[in-house]
Amino acid sequence: MEASGRVTLCGFRKVLNYNNFPIKKQIEGGKNCALPTRSRDSSGRQGIAPGRPRLSPFTGDAAPMSLLRSALTVSGLTLVSRITGVIRDMLIARYFGATAATDAFYVAFRLPNMLRRLFAEGAFQQAFVPMLSDVRERNAPERTQSFLEHVFTILSLAVFAASVLGVLAAPLLVLAIAGGMRSDPEAFDLAVALTRWMFPYIAFMSLVALAASILNTMKRFAIPAATPILLNLSFIGATILLTPYFDEPIWALAAAVLIGGVLQLGAQIAALAKLGCILRPRGIRASLADADVRKVLSLMLPALFGVGVAQLSILINTNIASHLGHGAVTWLNYADRLMEFPTALLGVALGTVLLPGLSAAHARGDAERYNALLDHGLRLVVLVGIPAALGLWLTSEALVAFLFQGKNFSPADVAETARAVVGYSVGLIGLITLKIAAPAFYARKDIRTPVRIAFLSLVVVQLLNLATVPLFDQAGLALSVGLGSCVNAGSLLLILGRRGIYRPRAGWGKFLLQVAAGSLVMAVGLWFAQRGVSWTALAWPVRAAGTLGLVAGAAVVYFLVMTLFGWRLRDLRPAPEAKD
On the question of pLDDT at 5 being above 60, the answer is no
Mean pLDDT calculated for residue range 4-10: 42
Which among 354, 282, 452, 331 is positioned nearest to 133, based on CA atoms?
Answer: 354
Mean pLDDT calculated for residue range 74-100: 84
Q: Give the angle subtended at the CA of 457 by the CAs of 451 and 459, to the nearest 5°.
A: 110
Comparing 23-32, 55-64, 513-522, the range with the smallest average pLDDT is 23-32
Question: Could you tell me the sign of the dihedral formed by the alpha carbons of 433, 435, 436, 441, in that order?
Answer: positive
Q: Give the angle subtended at the CA of 61 by the CAs of 495 and 289, to the nearest 5°.
A: 75
Mean pLDDT calculated for residue range 452-471: 91
pLDDT band at 31 (very low <50, low <70, confident <90, very high): very low
Q: What is the mean pLDDT of the chain?
A: 81
The phi and psi torsions of 321 (rounded to 5 degrees) equal -65, -35
Tens digit of each residue's pLDDT (9 = 90 or more) over 117-140: 666 556 777 778 778 878 887 778
Give the pLDDT confidence score for residue 498 in this predicted structure: 93
The phi and psi torsions of 34 (rounded to 5 degrees) equal -65, 145
* Amino acid at residue number 227: T
b/e map 318-351, b = 16+ CB within 10 Å: bbbbbebebbbbbbbbbbbbbbbbbbbbbbbbbb
Burial of 365 (0-12, 13-18, 19+ CB in 10 A): exposed
pLDDT band at 399 (very low <50, low <70, confident <90, very high): very high
Mean pLDDT calculated for residue range 393-410: 91
* Amino acid at residue number 410: S
Of residues 71 and 132, the one with the higher pLDDT is 132
On the question of pLDDT at 95 being above 80, the answer is yes
Q: How far is CA 519 from the centre of its chain?
A: 26
Sorted by sequence, the CB contacts under 8 Å of residue 509 that are 6+ apart come out as: none
Three-state secondary structure call for residue 7: strand
On the question of pLDDT at 1 being above 80, the answer is no
Which among 276, 296, 312 is positioned nearest to 155, based on CA atoms?
Answer: 296
Nearest-Å Rg of the Cα atoms of the chain is: 25
Helices (H), 530-575: 540-564
On the question of pLDDT at 463 being above 90, the answer is yes
Cβ-contact 338, 421 below 8 angstroms:
yes
Cβ-contact 7, 27 below 8 angstroms:
yes
Mean pLDDT calculated for residue range 530-559: 93
Question: Could you tell me the sign of the dihedral formed by the alpha carbons of 510, 429, 205, 440, in that order?
Answer: positive
The phi and psi torsions of 447 (rounded to 5 degrees) equal -95, -25
pLDDT band at 348 (very low <50, low <70, confident <90, very high): low
Of residues 98 and 259, the one with the higher pLDDT is 259
Cβ-contact 222, 73 below 8 angstroms:
yes
Which among 481, 484, 508 is positioned nearest to 382, based on CA atoms?
Answer: 508
Cβ-contact 423, 475 below 8 angstroms:
yes
Mean pLDDT calculated for residue range 33-43: 41
Mean pLDDT calculated for residue range 547-564: 95
Mean pLDDT calculated for residue range 147-155: 89
Sorted by sequence, the CB contacts under 8 Å of residue 529 that are 6+ apart come out as: 550, 553
Of residues 387 and 450, the one with the higher pLDDT is 387
Give the pLDDT confidence score for residue 497 in this predicted structure: 93
Q: How far is CA 467 from the centre of its chain?
A: 30
On the question of pLDDT at 9 being above 60, the answer is no
pLDDT band at 6 (very low <50, low <70, confident <90, very high): very low
On the question of pLDDT at 578 being above 60, the answer is no
On the question of pLDDT at 224 being above 90, the answer is no
Give the pLDDT confidence score for residue 48 in this predicted structure: 40
Tens digit of each residue's pLDDT (9 = 90 or more) over 294-346: 888 887 777 677 666 766 777 788 889 888 888 888 899 889 888 877 776 66
Cα 345 from Cα 384, distance rounded (Å): 10
540 CB neighbour count, 10 Å cutoff: 11
Give the pLDDT confidence score for residue 60 in this predicted structure: 44
On the question of pLDDT at 25 being above 50, the answer is no
pTM of the model: 0.68
Q: What is the DSSP string of 291-342?
A: HHHHHHHHHHHHHHHHHHHHHHHHHHHHHHHHTS-TTHHHHHHHHHHHHHHH
Pick from 130-134, 377-381, 551-555 the range whose average pLDDT is largest.
551-555
Of residues 115 and 186, the one with the higher pLDDT is 186
On the question of pLDDT at 23 being above 60, the answer is no
What percent of the chain has pLDDT above 70?
81
For residue 39, the cross-strand partners are 47
Of residues 328 and 357, the one with the higher pLDDT is 328
On the question of pLDDT at 455 being above 60, the answer is yes
For residue 275, the cross-strand partners are none
Give the pLDDT confidence score for residue 579 in this predicted structure: 46
* Amino acid at residue number 457: S
